[in-house]
Amino acid sequence: MSIFKPELVAPAGNLEKLQIAYLYGADAVYLGTPVFGLRKYADNLNIDQLKIACSVATSYQKKLYLVLNGFAHNEDLDSVCKFLSQIQSFAIHGLVISDLGIFHLAKQLTSFPIHISTQANITNPQSGLFWKEQGAKRLILARELSLEECVDIKTQTGLEVEVFIHGARCAGYSGNCILSNYSSARDANRGGCVQNCRHFFTFFHESDGQKVGSGYVMNSKDLMSIDLLPKLISARIDALKIEGRMKSALYLANTVRIYRQILDNTTLSSEALKSELEKIFNRSFCAGYLGGGDPASFVLFHESFQSKTIQFIGVIKQVFSDGACLVEVRNPFCVGDCLEYLHPNGTLHAVHVQKIWSSQGEILSSARINQLVLLDSIPEPVLFGVIRK
Amino acid sequence: MSMPKLITYCSDSVQIQTAIQAGVSELILEHSYLSIRSLDLVDKAGVLDPRIKSEDDICYKKKIDLAPLIELAIYARSLKPDIQLSVCWDWMAYGFHFKFVDSILEDLSAAGLIRIRLCDIGLMFYIRKKMPSAHLILMHDTFHVNRESIQQFAKYAQGQVLSHLLCLDEIRDIVQAVQTDFEVLIHGNLFLHHSPTRYLSLAHEAGFVDEWPLNRIQLQDQDHPTRLLTAFENKHGFFILNDFQRCLWSYQKELLDLNLSGWIIDVRGYSLDYFKTVLEAYSRFSISQPKFEYGDYSLKPGFFKAARFDLRKKRVYQDYLSDHKIMGMVVESSPKKWMIVELEQPLHQSDVVQIVTPEDVVFSYQIPDVLAVSDREVASDHQLVKIFISKTVPPRSILALA
């Protein structure tokens, strides 16, 4: 009997990140377009790029989910209908939707399976049954649920369930917060959230205006679920989702490869892998309500984020037959530096930089941002491989 | 064009008496276990939030005592037998909540309280099946902000309170497109945020708040210091309200033209005098009286006048990325000499492209030739090409189909 493995679902803000997500082990990728995805300011894909993304997914034999999870206003409906008609023949494996009206338009205009977004706040089995009656295939559950509650919803509805396992958490119920609309005229439920919850707040008595406290009181720590993976697997949770369509390619490669390694080998030391995740920008980690811990441990009261300990150096953009490769540089480095290459097989290789050439063959002492440089010291370089320092 | 009924929230007998005397047509009765924004302070014995694992949690008990709510209903009917009553039951429901639902429905039904206001889709779905006679009204935060979703929800609920995010024009479109009972908040705070995580008590435990328990407090965002939001915490979680009162007094004609079934006044948490003044003013609503005022209270239309979000300056570069066929993106360039392009689509000599820089400069360019970046033999099929160009093209510029 084969061992059950949940689907690992990763974010992709653009075509490069799509390639990286698949390369480092995602089973499926979710991405948005300028039409009504919740990450309005992310590098969304336009319709031609979406077509390319579908062919990339097909070449990897992996899945691609298209996110349409904002709450539409009347003014959005025509463009959503036009868009759905345009993509109906695309090789998309599912639409991620939260708006009941958009759900029914998608049912009328396409035959894609529909996953209900976490924005729809499915916190109980009856909500799941409501969406089942509409025709949903998968429920992406609210981040406020415990694992036991997720299992209960799966059992009672008979639908696939997906849970968030890593990344930023909303301070409030997703979809039920309009702080951003109010403070900055940016619609949190149509991709414009400015994350007021991360700000520093001061409290005053309403009666006399006396100060009673201050801090980053709603600054939710990031979710990390490495310790929960064995339980998630034994509970047969269908899909595990990584947050972060707007985060860097380094975050994506690093996070996907870590979870891929554990899913493939649950006996690996989780402490070593956790420390790998901590090296990238984060707001400190917690297991959230999924892990059933004390909510006091979910908030980073005293600061807005924790600093990262490693830097994103670049992405391999061309590989030559002699083993050299061209790297698109995202942060400067120089001869003598020791870099690390995240091999897509999950291993980490030290790279001692002894020589750098420009793309035109000139010898350089350092590499700067927005430069293509040739390196001959990357072991087994792979296209879209990620390098860090 | 008839005057819609006035509707308001009541959680005690004084409010009920005041509202009925002011001429309110429907009272939304509150019980602190059902109505999440009721203003009880946190008392750990009796929390309803499953996110806090307390042995004293009501979720370990068998039944929620609705006697206080039913007493309010009896009192209201004793003052005005034909008063319409509804119950605020705006849980964000978890699985454990449902073990209480049947007994709550039995008690409500026995008391003739079958007009229920809710926002949880699961609760709506369950009650619709369990008690078909219930008259369900979806509250403003049920994720229904367009005519399609409102049309779908109308299959499950007899009425809907329209979202605070909808402006007059949107409401007009929706009311014309969907046949159901609509209500709008015409006076009161806007509800901005709800979390099951009780940030105030957690901040107190962590040493970031000096006193506990706290009544409603004012919350100052360092990035928006002039706006003092109202925040409070109770057994259902943590809430933030806006810093002014929505007041649609000056939109009387427009409101009447909408032909809504109800106008909601929600001044929970404010003084009895304010409650009474607002209700009396709206029950004597007069187009000839242009203004409503109360002390130094800030009164504004909220999003009703114009809900214009995301109106940031249009970016040519972003528009091209969104709407045009992208041939490739510049990854490196040498000013006025050449650029290296990562291709998304095949590019050929003599093709004409639009080059768009991240600074929104746009120009047409005929590709003179498409060259390999290096003399080395390429092992990967991903295409980087070198193109000569006498202009300066910064990295991240896009080549779009002309």
pLDDT at B57: 65
Residue A12 is encoded by which pair of tokens? 């992709």
What are the distances in angstroms from CA B295 to CA A314, B273, B274, B277, B321?
61, 11, 10, 11, 51
Choose the weakest-confidence range: A71-85, A374-388, B60-74, B169-183. B60-74
Query: Per-residue pLDDT for chain B (402 aa), expressed as one digit of tens each?
Result: 678 999 999 999 999 999 999 999 999 999 988 998 876 554 444 555 546 655 556 666 667 889 999 999 999 999 999 999 999 999 999 998 998 999 999 999 999 999 999 999 999 999 999 999 999 999 988 778 999 999 999 999 999 999 998 999 999 999 999 999 999 999 999 988 999 888 888 888 889 988 877 778 899 998 888 889 999 888 888 999 998 899 999 998 899 999 999 999 999 989 999 999 999 999 887 766 778 899 999 999 888 887 666 555 568 888 888 889 999 999 999 999 999 999 999 999 999 999 999 999 999 999 999 999 988 999 877 789 999 999 999 999 999 987
Which residues are CB-contacts of B222 (< 8 A; sequence separation ≥ 6)?
A199, A200, A201, A202
> Is the predicted ipTM greater than 0.95, yes or no?
no
DSSP states of B101-161:
HHHHHHHHHHTT--EEEE--HHHHHHHHHH-TT-EEEE-TTSS--SHHHHHHHTTT-SEEE
Q: Do B395 and A104 touch (CB under 8 A)?
A: no
Residue A87 banded pLDDT, cuts 50, 70, 90? very high
> Distance between CA A210 and CA A207 in Å, rounded?
8
What are the distances in angstroms from CA B265 to CA A343, B7, B192?
61, 6, 17
Q: Do B219 and A176 touch (CB under 8 A)?
A: no
Handedness of CA B325, B327, B331, B336 (dihedral sign): negative
Q: Do B309 and A105 touch (CB under 8 A)?
A: no
Element (H, E) at A163: strand A160-167
pLDDT at B50: 42
Q: Do B332 and A371 touch (CB under 8 A)?
A: yes
Which residues are CB-contacts of A46 (< 8 A; sequence separation ≥ 6)?
A33, A34, B321, B322, B323, B324, B325, B326
> Distance between CA A389 and CA A311 in Å, rounded?
5
End-to-end, the C-alpha distance of chain B in Å comes to 54
Most B CBs within 10 Å, among A302, A318, A329, to test the B interface: A318
What are the distances in angstroms from CA B330 to CA A43, A369, B357, B384?
16, 13, 9, 9
> Distance between CA B116 and CA B139 in Å, rounded?
10
Distance from CA of A203 to the nearest CA of B (A): 5
Within chain A, what is the greatest distance between any pair of CA atoms?
75
Q: Residues 243 to 282 of B: which have CB under 8 A from any A CB? A: none
Q: Is the peptide bond before A34 cis (omega within 30 degrees of 0)?
A: no
All residues of chain B having their beta carbon less than 8 Å from the beta carbon of residue A171 are 193, 195, 197, 199
What does R_g of chain A's alpha carbons equal in angstroms?
22
Q: Identify the burial level of A165 via C-beta atoms within 10 angstroms of its C-beta, where 0-12 means exposed, 13-18 middle and 19 or more buried.
A: buried
Nearest to A199 among B165, B166, B223 (CB): B223
Say how far residue B118 (Cα) sits from the centre of its chain.
Answer: 14
pLDDT at B42: 47
Name the residue with tokens 């206001």: B117
Most B CBs within 10 Å, among A123, A208, A321, A375, to test the B interface: A123
Element (H, E) at A203: strand A201-205
Q: Do A123 and B92 touch (CB under 8 A)?
A: yes
Name the residue with tokens 């590098």: A43
Nearest to B208 among A183, A215, A295 (CB): A215
Distance from CA of A8 to the nearest CA of B (A): 25
Whole-number mean pLDDT of chain A?
92
Strand partners, A201: A215, B221
Residue that wins the pLDDT comparison between A64 and B235: A64
Is B228 within 8 Å of chain A by CB?
Answer: yes
Cβ-based neighbour number of residue A304 at 10 Å: 12
Strand partners, B401: B353
pLDDT at B312: 55
Residue A305 is encoded by which pair of tokens? 């984020």
What are the distances in angstroms from CA B167 to CA A84, A191, B90, B232, B260?
26, 19, 23, 27, 14
Contact B352, B394 (CB under 8 A): no
Q: A with B: how many residue pairs have Cβ under 8 Å apart?
A: 313
Residue A184 banded pLDDT, cuts 50, 70, 90? confident
Residue B115 is encoded by which pair of tokens? 């007009």
> Distance between CA A33 and CA B241 in Å, rounded?
32
pLDDT at A296: 85
pLDDT at A38: 47
Which residues are CB-contacts of B220 (< 8 A; sequence separation ≥ 6)?
A201, A202, A203, A204, B227, B228, B229
What are the distances in angstroms from CA A176 to CA B23, B32, B217, B361?
33, 20, 21, 39
Q: Residues 373 to 402 of B: which have CB under 8 A from any A CB? A: 373-374, 376-380, 382, 384, 386, 394-396
- Sequence letter at residue B179: Q
Q: Do B342 and A322 touch (CB under 8 A)?
A: no
What are the distances in angstroms from CA B153 to CA A229, A383, B128, B260?
37, 49, 12, 17
A101: left (phi over 0), alpha (psi -120 to 50) or beta: alpha
Question: Taking CA atoms, what residue in A is nearest to B147?
Answer: A74
Residue A191 is encoded by which pair of tokens? 């991709």
Name the residue with tokens 């304010």: B274
How many secondary structure helices (H) and strands (E) does chain B include?
A: 10, 21
Q: Do B374 and A215 touch (CB under 8 A)?
A: no
All residues of chain A having their beta carbon less than 8 Å from the beta carbon of residue B145 are 71-73, 189
> Distance between CA B402 and CA B324 in Å, rounded?
9
Contact A249, A281 (CB under 8 A): no
Q: Residue A129: pLDDT above 70? A: yes
pLDDT at A52: 96
Q: Do A299 and B384 touch (CB under 8 A)?
A: no
Residue B208 is encoded by which pair of tokens? 């970031």
pLDDT at A42: 52
Residue A139 is encoded by which pair of tokens? 């429920």
Residue A173 is encoded by which pair of tokens? 């119920």
Reported as a single tens digit per residue, the pLDDT across A20-43 is 999 999 999 999 987 765 445 556
DSSP states of B249-297:
GGGHHHHHHHT-SEEEEE-TTS-HHHHHHHHHHHHT--TT------TT-
> Distance between CA B263 and CA B278 in Å, rounded?
12
Strand partners, A15: none
> Distance between CA A114 and CA A134 in Å, rounded?
10
> Distance between CA B359 and CA B382 in Å, rounded?
27
pLDDT at B64: 84
> Distance between CA B118 and CA A173 in Å, rounded?
16
The share of chain A scoring above pLDDT 70, in percent, equals: 96
> Distance between CA B299 and CA A220 in Å, rounded?
33
pLDDT at B30: 95
pLDDT at A191: 67
Question: Taking CA atoms, what residue in B is nearest to A105?
Answer: B148
Tell me the residue length of chain B: 402
Residue A256 sits at φ, ψ, to 5 deg, of -65, -45
Q: What is the pTM of this model?
A: 0.94
Which residues are CB-contacts of A49 (< 8 A; sequence separation ≥ 6)?
A14, A15, B326, B344
